[in-house]
Amino acid sequence: MSSVSAYVNEHEHEHDHKPRGLARWLFTTNHKDIGILYMLFGVTFFLVGGLFAELIRAQLIHPANHVLTPELYNQAITLHGLVMVFAALMPVTAGFANYVIPLMIGAPDMALPRLNNWGFWLLPPAAVVLVFPGILQLFGVGNGPIDTGWTIYAPLSVRSGLGVDFAIFAIVLLGASSLMASINIIVTIFNMRAPGVTMMKLPLFAWSWLITAFLLIAVFPALIAGGLMLLTDRHFGTHFFSAAGGGDPVLWEHLFWFFGHPEVYILLLPTAGLLSHILSAFARKPIFGYRAQVYAYWTIGVLSVIVWAHHMFTSGMPIAGQLYFMYSTMAISIPVTVLFICWLGTIWRGALSFETPMLFALGYIGLFGIGGLTGLTLADAVADQQYHNSYYLVAHFHYTLFGGPIMGVMAAAYFYLPKITGHMYSERAGRWHFWLCIIGFNLTFIPQFLAGIAGAERRVVDYPIQFAGFHMASSIGAFILGAAQLLLVYNIVVAWRGRTEPASARVWEGAQGLEFTLPSPPPYHTFAERPAVV
Amino acid sequence: MNSETGTETCADRVERFGYLARRLVRPLHRSLLNRRRLTLGSAAAAAAAISLPTLAEARNPFEFPTPVTPVAHDTLYVHDLFLAVMAVVFGIGMCVLLYSVIQHRKSRGYSPAAFSGPKTLGQWMVVVVPVLALAFIDYVVMGIPSYYAVVAMANTREDAALVVKATASQWKWRYEYPDQEIAFTSSLSTPRAQIESGSPTDPHYLYEVDNPLVLPAGKKVRILLVSLDVIHSWWVPAFGVKQDAVPGFLRETWVKIEKPGIYRGQCGELCGTGHAFMPIVVVAKAEPAFERWVAQTQNGEKAVALAEEQPLSRNDLLARGKTAYETNCAPCHQITGLGLPGAIPPLAAGQAFTATPELTDKLAQLGTYRDGKIVLVPVDRQLGIVLHGISGTPMPAFGLQLGDADIAAIVTYVRNSFGNHTGDVVQPAAVKSARVQAN
Amino acid sequence: MSADITMTSNVTGSQRYYLPQPSPYPVLVSAALLVLFIGSGLRVNGVGAGSWLMAAGLLLLLYAVVHWFSGVIAESRGGVYHRWESRSFRLGMIWFIISEIVLFATFFAVLFYERRISVPWLASLDPRFSPWPGFVGGWPTAGPAGHRFATIGPLGIPLVNTILLLSSGATVTWAHWGLKENRRQQLIAGLIVTILLGAVFVLLQAYEFHHAYTELGLTLGSGVYGATFFMLTGLHGLHVTVGLVMLTTILGRSLKGHFSAEHRFAVEAVSWYWHFVDVVWLCLFVLVYSV
Ligand code: HEA
Ligand code: HEA
Ligand code: CUA
Ligand SMILES: [Cu+2]
């Protein structure tokens, strides 16, 4: 401990030559600055994606409603999906990686700092490119942003308007960004660990991101390649996805889901890693089953690239394909269950306290449990004929996406907010945020399970009246859920403005790890000289 | 066995699978078959309170529509089984979690243990048994019935008594009975006024079509699926069937409907702005009634074919044209005939239209576009466009989907509406000869 | 175990990692890409200003990349990179190449899918209902609604190209050996020969494309054969071109005497890249031209 402060003092003399103002954020090579940029970007787009969700729910509140036209509705669901996945969740988890991993492993910074800056600054152009067709439309050019659903299925996407081209370019930019971030994280973990931090001592968050980065490198180029083919099919006369030239529209589905399925674990894994740290901190007890979790990440990573076609059970696959993808998908439930057992083992017989991060962490276990278990039912090739593209599926993936990663991000946000800003947030507002989330979320999505089973379909701007009750309940839930998120914004502002009680270095009584040995907030440059660790 | 139909159910197959499955799966599914309603438990009860009108065909608004085909029975069986098992698993997990949350809390002065993994055999059991149990659930409890269900579902051809070809296009279905030489198009019949009203009253709002698909009850029907433009999906929940129609390929599925009735569904794959308005309605008729329907329709089609060739009065053409225009053309060209800027050209001559050169060049080649404005082409040229579409654009070929009279009426209507005052009257005979010319 | 990482002491001495100063170039590259992609999006949809934006984006990109790399070169000359930093660069390059491998693997997978799955499937549809009743499949094919075309056999230019690229792989390795032994002449000579071989390859490839378009009727629009053929060989050609630019840069720097047995990361990275491009070509030669 003492050596840390000694080091920090010594470094004060050198003084951080960080530029001031806008230039600092534009040009920064500092992992903490970049981490903060990623997180702010993610939170902003979480609100934007949420705004689209609220528009969707406003349209669906009763049948024959006219908040959105069919064109706008399709654009809204597509942008909602793309924004939430690519511009909200992925940046936030990358932000935590940037901010925390170097601190956790005793590294001076990320291994490739300038590349790191570029990785972040590819995101805003991607966002601009994605919505640019909306601006063009105002000037009478084209018919607005992409409207094909986030899965961009050919040949709808081949025939649709210029929004698709811009979406493809946005995906290329996002892909480049993710690849840069992944390369950086892999190299940082391999090359920048302080002496003594062996791979099997690596904090679980770092492990989970390492596997995530491997996955990104293994699958994102496939989506980029698919995007290029879509572009040439649209404009340069190729026939990758058209039967007339010997191609196959279903090939796009294969390419998309070869990326898309691992993508859901790319979203999940980083927060699964964080969850273990948070549970352990508030149970005041070591993580249960460290090794088992590492092996589970590996297993999830490997399995996730060989199960993609469970999204395509209705596309007309041969029997062998149906059976293979059904059974291999079921296999993923096993490593995920291992994680669940480890999480439960971590809190079992601990001394639990329930600050906001812990509440969100426990909420994660419950909600993601429902999401995962319903996922298992989707894996059945026959029953999936019924679930596919119904609201049952929509509910499944919101229980996994919101119930898992988003809840995890919330937990981590409250966990690290005092560390990052140096000040506490409002615990009261945090608890309100949690309980409103739980109520709003379940009210939004439980009716969707039921409606889906009864036959309600997704991606429709209007629906038969037997589903009116479900949709009404769901919309009310969504408004509560949306309003709840304002409390997150409030808490970020509170901690940021720094009028509240300052946070100690350890912040939480049970917090473990190198990052909690540094002051809150940590100095601009940490560990320029390697710390050694036992 | 399902006593009504004599078809083997999923449960029967499990029985056949062997000792392990019998001992372990049977008790479970027994209780399921007897007390299905338990499956959704209290969540369902809560939902019942909030749900409004009920699906006539469903047992409850929050459950599967009552299954009427073997595949749907399998699906429901598997679904109920899963949900029951999942509820138990979730319940156990939640109990462990809640016990810990209530008992092991700091405020109760509980001091934390220090273990970080299982040590004793007992602890190992606690950890390993749930994993094994889940594997067992995956591959035995769920895996075995699923296997048989997949195999049964894929068997589309054996013993099929009737073949129906369903051709999807934006946003309607065309059904053909190749052996019976019957063919017709089926599209949404909910009036536009109702959709625009904001408060639909029709009990089958968006679930109704002009010409439903008629199928025999109690016979296996093989359904072939084709698409003319993008991927659509043929989905009727009560049949447990959802199969994509992929353009350029053939897909197939099958149904064997157990009891006569009306079954409703929707297109199951996002296919553009009309995706919500592409319903499927199947009328299942008992054998003799079905035969009668076939005979009638065959005669009717001949009569219609004859009638199609009769000249119509200008007013008849305009009236018929208006309706046909609104179902077929208005989704793109709009009721106003003004199209959508940048994407769909207006049909009103003299209207300005801006779009990419790719599009406007094509139009210019066709002669419908000059100096940034839409020009009305001669009748035969316009007939050609409507019959054959404009390849490489969303403009579909209606020759395959509509009869001569409808096309004649549409073209007449277009040429005398939206400010077009050509006074042209196009008769079905002209369409007939236009079809021949182009071939 | 894991979470109990605590710090004890910090090792002093030379283990300092070089942290670069804030730099405007990454943001500039991103801005250039923004302009470039908006321009491209407009261009492919035929909106006039697109081409101008593309050109502006490319120029800005060139400017930013050149400055970014000059900065890195200056740092490298300034002696701020040691073993620790070099290891980061090496690992970074390896993982970058892995991502490129996945990109090409995807296109090969597409080739496999079209050739082994979609074309045979289209040819075996129930003839009574098939939209393409006369289609017999086979390979090469432009698909059921495609036109006639001829293909390029493996034994002409492709074989010559194979030999060229394989030799260039050897010469770049030879150059690399020279550097390891601090034999600068060998390094320079090796690089020059490599660049020449690569350039001839690109020229022959361009000739071949021209020949395909004008005489064989083989174009991007020739169904799945044309599409996979031009996408794979085109993408590869693009990579060779990029490789040539990298080699030329390295050659320039070698002439200025930038490298030594100790400072050779840049040369190594480029030679890895070149080998990767080489191996991709071998796959192409076998899977696209030969079988
Ligand atoms: C983070 C995101 C995420 C995660 C983790 C998952 C996890 C899983 N998903 Fe999900 N899925 C999506 C996001 C996700 N999914 C999305 C976005 C889609 C739709 C995309 C679209 O079409 O637009 C989708 C669609 C989807 C489909 C396609 C359905 C269709 O289109 O017809 C299928 C089919 O097999 C599936 C299966 C699974 C399975 C088996 C898992 C497994 O990994 C789950 C394993 C987990 C468990 C088995 C839980 C274990 C729990 C316990 C043991 C109980 C413990 C309980 C307590 C402690 C309380 N998912
Ligand atoms: C991480 C991913 C993620 C997240 C977090 C969410 C969050 C939500 N989603 Fe989303 N959803 C998807 C991923 C996600 N979704 C995907 C991939 C699809 C499929 C798309 C497709 O079909 O292609 C989808 C589709 C989808 C549908 C189906 C549409 C359809 O098929 O027709 C619906 C409908 O209810 C829905 C609702 C919601 C709601 C109510 C939330 C809520 O959780 C949102 C919470 C609310 C907020 C966060 C709002 C906060 C903001 C404010 C209060 C305003 C702030 C002000 C300004 C910004 C100015 N989503
Ligand atoms: Cu057709 Cu959706
Ligand atoms: Cu999946």
- In the chain, the amino acid numbered B419 is G
**Of the candidates A117, A132, A246, which has its C-beta nearest C144's C-beta?**
A246
**Of the candidates A250, A331, A389, which has its C-beta nearest B268's C-beta?**
A389
Give the SS3 label for residue A246: coil
Is B208 contained in some domain? yes
| Pocket flag, ligand 1, residue A372 (CB < 6 Å) | yes
Q: What is the CA B222 to chain-centroid distance, rounded?
A: 16
B389 contacts chain A (CB < 8 A): no
C47 contacts chain B (CB < 8 A): yes
Phi and psi at A61, nearest 5°, equal -60, -35
Strand B261-267 to B232-236 pairing: antiparallel
- Ligand 3 neighbours (beta carbon < 6 A): B 168, 171, 232, 267, 269-271, 275, 278
- A140 contacts in B (CB within 8 Å)? 341-342, 354
- A333 contacts in B (CB within 8 Å)? 134, 138
Q: CA of B275: which chain A residue's CA is closest?
A: A460
| B168, B297: one domain | yes
Residue A75 near residue A148, CB atoms below 8 Å: no
Which residues in chain C show pLDDT less than 70? 1-15
| B201, B245: one domain | yes
pLDDT of residue A529: 65
- Tokens representing A27 are 């040009």
- Tokens representing B143 are 């895996």
Residue A462, pLDDT > 90, answer yes
Q: List the Cα angle B421/B426/B431 in 5-degree steps.
A: 140
Q: What is the CATH number of the domain that holds B260?
A: 2.60.40.420
pLDDT, greater one: A430 or B55: A430
Q: What is the CA A418 to chain-centroid distance, rounded?
A: 22
pLDDT of residue A25: 86
* Strands ordered across the beta sheet of B232-236: B213-216, B279-285, B261-267, B232-236, B241-245
| B135, B16: one domain | yes
Is B3 contained in some domain? no
Give the SS3 label for residue A138: helix
Is B137 contained in some domain? yes
Q: How far apart are CA B420 and CA A133, in angstroms?
A: 33
- In the chain, the amino acid numbered A55 is L
**Percent of chain A, pLDDT > 70?**
95
Is B4 contained in some domain? no
Q: How far apart are CA A116 and CA A187, in angstroms?
A: 12
Cα of first residue to Cα of last residue in chain C, in angstroms, is: 54
pLDDT of residue B253: 95
- C122 contacts in B (CB within 8 Å)? 248-249
A228 contacts chain C (CB < 8 A): yes
Q: How far apart are CA B15 and CA B213, in angstroms?
A: 37
Residue nearest to atom 41 of ligand 2 (CA): A53
| B294, B348: one domain | no
Output DSSP code: residue A201: G
The ligand whose atoms approach the alpha carbon of A300 most closely is 1
Chain C touching partners, 3 or more CB pairs below 8 A: A, B
- Tokens representing B45 are 């009860």
Q: How far apart are CA A184 and CA A463, in angstroms?
A: 47
Residue B36, H or E segment: none
Identify the domain boundary among B154, B174, B199. B154
Identify the domain boundary among B98, B126, B154. B154
d(CA B134, nearest CA chain A) in Å: 7
- Across chain C, how many H-helices and E-strands are there? 8, 1
| B281, B321: one domain | no
Residue nearest to atom 29 of ligand 1 (CA): A311
| B228, B355: one domain | no
Domain coverage including residue B334: 311-438
- Taking CA atoms, B184 is separated from A235, B260, B326, C101, in Å, by 35, 21, 18, 51
* A3 contacts: CB under 8 Å, gap ≥ 6: A531, C7, C8, C9, C10
- In the chain, the amino acid numbered B218 is G
Mean model confidence pLDDT for chain A: 92
How many domains is chain B built from?
3
- Tokens representing B284 are 């299942």
- Distance (Å) from CA A260 to ligand 4 centroid: 7
* A400 contacts: CB under 8 Å, gap ≥ 6: A264, A268, A368, A371, A372, A375
For B312-347, write each residue's pLDDT tens digit: 888 888 988 988 898 888 878 888 888 887 778 899
C48 contacts chain B (CB < 8 A): no
- Taking CA atoms, A494 is separated from A95, A520, C56, C260, in Å, by 20, 16, 43, 55
Would you give per-residue pLDDT tens digits along chain B (439 residues)? 444 444 555 555 555 555 555 555 555 555 444 444 334 443 444 344 333 333 334 455 567 788 899 989 888 888 888 888 888 999 999 999 999 999 888 888 878 888 888 888 888 998 899 999 999 988 888 888 888 889 888 888 888 899 999 999 988 999 999 998 888 889 999 888 888 888 888 889 999 999 999 999 999 999 999 999 999 999 999 999 999 999 999 999 999 999 899 999 999 999 999 999 999 999 999 988 999 999 988 887 777 777 777 788 888 889 889 888 988 888 788 888 888 877 788 998 888 887 777 778 888 888 888 888 888 888 888 988 998 888 777 788 888 778 888 899 999 999 998 888 888 888 888 888 887 765 4
- Whether omega before C140 lies within 30 degrees of 0, making that bond cis, reads yes
C125 contacts chain B (CB < 8 A): yes
| B174, B119: one domain | no
**Of the candidates C46, C126, C129, which has its C-beta nearest B357's C-beta?**
C46
| B170, B297: one domain | yes
d(CA B257, nearest CA chain C) in Å: 24
pLDDT, greater one: C154 or A354: A354
pLDDT of residue B149: 87
- Taking CA atoms, A132 is separated from A136, A141, C21, C38, in Å, by 6, 11, 33, 8
- In the chain, the amino acid numbered A23 is A
| B255, B201: one domain | yes
Output DSSP code: residue B58: B
pLDDT bin (cut points 50, 70, 90) of residue A8 is very low
| Pocket flag, ligand 2, residue A149 (CB < 6 Å) | yes
Residue A276 near residue A289, CB atoms below 8 Å: no
Closest CA to A285 of B119, C4, B93: C4
Is B70 contained in some domain? yes
Residue A427, pLDDT > 70, answer yes
| B263, B337: one domain | no
| B316, B302: one domain | no
| B411, B327: one domain | yes
Q: What is the CA A131 to chain-centroid distance, rounded?
A: 20
Average pLDDT over residues A110-138: 94
- In the chain, the amino acid numbered A414 is Y
- A159 contacts in B (CB within 8 Å)? 229-230, 394
Residue A15, pLDDT > 60, answer no
* A220 contacts: CB under 8 Å, gap ≥ 6: A175, A178, A179, A259, C99, C102
Is B36 contained in some domain? yes
Chain B touching partners, 3 or more CB pairs below 8 A: A, C
Residue B314 near residue B431, CB atoms below 8 Å: no
Q: How far apart are CA C22 and CA A117, in angstroms?
A: 9
Q: How far apart are CA C187 and CA C181, in angstroms?
A: 10
For A361-392, write each residue's pLDDT tens digit: 999 999 999 999 999 999 999 999 999 999 99
- Tokens representing B150 are 């997949």
Q: How far apart are CA C38 and CA C52, in angstroms?
A: 11
Identify the domain boundary among B127, B154, B181. B154
Give the SS3 label for residue B64: coil
- Taking CA atoms, B102 is separated from A150, A353, A355, in Å, by 42, 10, 15
Q: What is the CATH number of the domain that holds B411?
A: 1.10.760.10
C49 contacts chain B (CB < 8 A): no
Is B204 contained in some domain? yes
- Taking CA atoms, B189 is separated from B39, B176, B232, B263, B278, in Å, by 36, 19, 19, 16, 10
DSSP per-residue string spanning A310-355:
GG-GGG---HHHHHHHHHHHHHHHHHHHHHHHHHHHHHTTS-B---
A177 contacts chain C (CB < 8 A): no
E-state strands within C79-203: none
For A309-332, write each residue's pLDDT tens digit: 999 999 999 999 999 999 999 999
Phi and psi at B183, nearest 5°, equal -155, 140
The ligand whose atoms approach the alpha carbon of A459 most closely is 2
For C49-79, write each residue's pLDDT tens digit: 889 999 999 999 999 999 999 988 888 888 8
Residue nearest to atom 31 of ligand 1 (CA): A311
Interface contact B269-A389, CB threshold 8 A = yes
Burial class (CB in 10 A: 0-12, 13-18, 19+), B30: exposed
DSSP per-residue string spanning C193-237:
HHHHHHHHHHHHHHHHHHHIIIII---TTSHHHHHHHHHHHHHHH
For B57-92, write each residue's pLDDT tens digit: 445 556 778 889 998 988 888 888 888 888 899 999
Interface contact B271-A289, CB threshold 8 A = no
Q: How far apart are CA A271 and CA A264, in angstroms?
A: 12
Tokens 């991103």: give the residue.
C30
* A396 contacts: CB under 8 Å, gap ≥ 6: A371, A374, A375, A378, A387
**Of the candidates C26, C98, C146, which has its C-beta nearest A246's C-beta?**
C146
Is B2 contained in some domain? no
The ligand whose atoms approach the alpha carbon of A474 most closely is 2
How many Å is the maximal CA-CA distance in chain C? 81
pLDDT of residue B119: 85
Domains of chain C: 1-80 (1.10.287.70), 82-289 (1.20.120.80)
| Pocket flag, ligand 2, residue A89 (CB < 6 Å) | yes
Phi and psi at A192, nearest 5°, equal -110, 5
* C22 contacts: CB under 8 Å, gap ≥ 6: A18, A19, A23, A24, A27, A28, A29
